[in-house]
Amino acid sequence: MDVATTTLAERIARALAGSDHSANANGTEQSASNSVDETWRGYLEQANAILRTIREPSSAMSAAGNVRVWSAMIEQAIAEGDAL
C-alpha cells in the first residue's frame, strides 16, 4: 500500500481548491495546478471540518473494520491539519 507524503488535511484542501478552480469541476481553468498551489491553504479550515465530521464511522463502516484504528487515524489527521 502506498503512503502519502502530505497530510490528509492538505490533500483534502487541495481537492477543494481544485474543485473551485478546475474546469473539470466547478471552475474555469483548463490547468488549475498553479492556482491550487497558491490557494490550498485557504481551504484548510474546510478540510479540517471535513476531518472532524468523518471521525465517527457509520454503522456500515464499523462493521467493515476496526473502529479504534479508524478513530486513531482520523484523530492523527486532525492533529496534523491543525498544525498546518
Q: pTM (2 decimals)?
A: 0.89
Q: Give the model's pLDDT for residue 52.
A: 96
- Where are the domains positioned within the chain? 8-83
Q: Give the model's pLDDT for residue 27.
A: 84
- For residue 79, what is its C-alpha cell? 492533529
Q: Give the model's pLDDT for residue 26.
A: 84
Residue 29 pairs in a beta bridge with 22
Contact 7, 80 (CB under 8 A): yes
Q: Give the model's pLDDT for residue 62.
A: 95
Each residue of 1-55: pLDDT tens digit?
899 999 999 999 999 999 999 888 888 889 889 999 999 999 999 999 999 999 9
Q: Give the model's pLDDT for residue 31.
A: 87
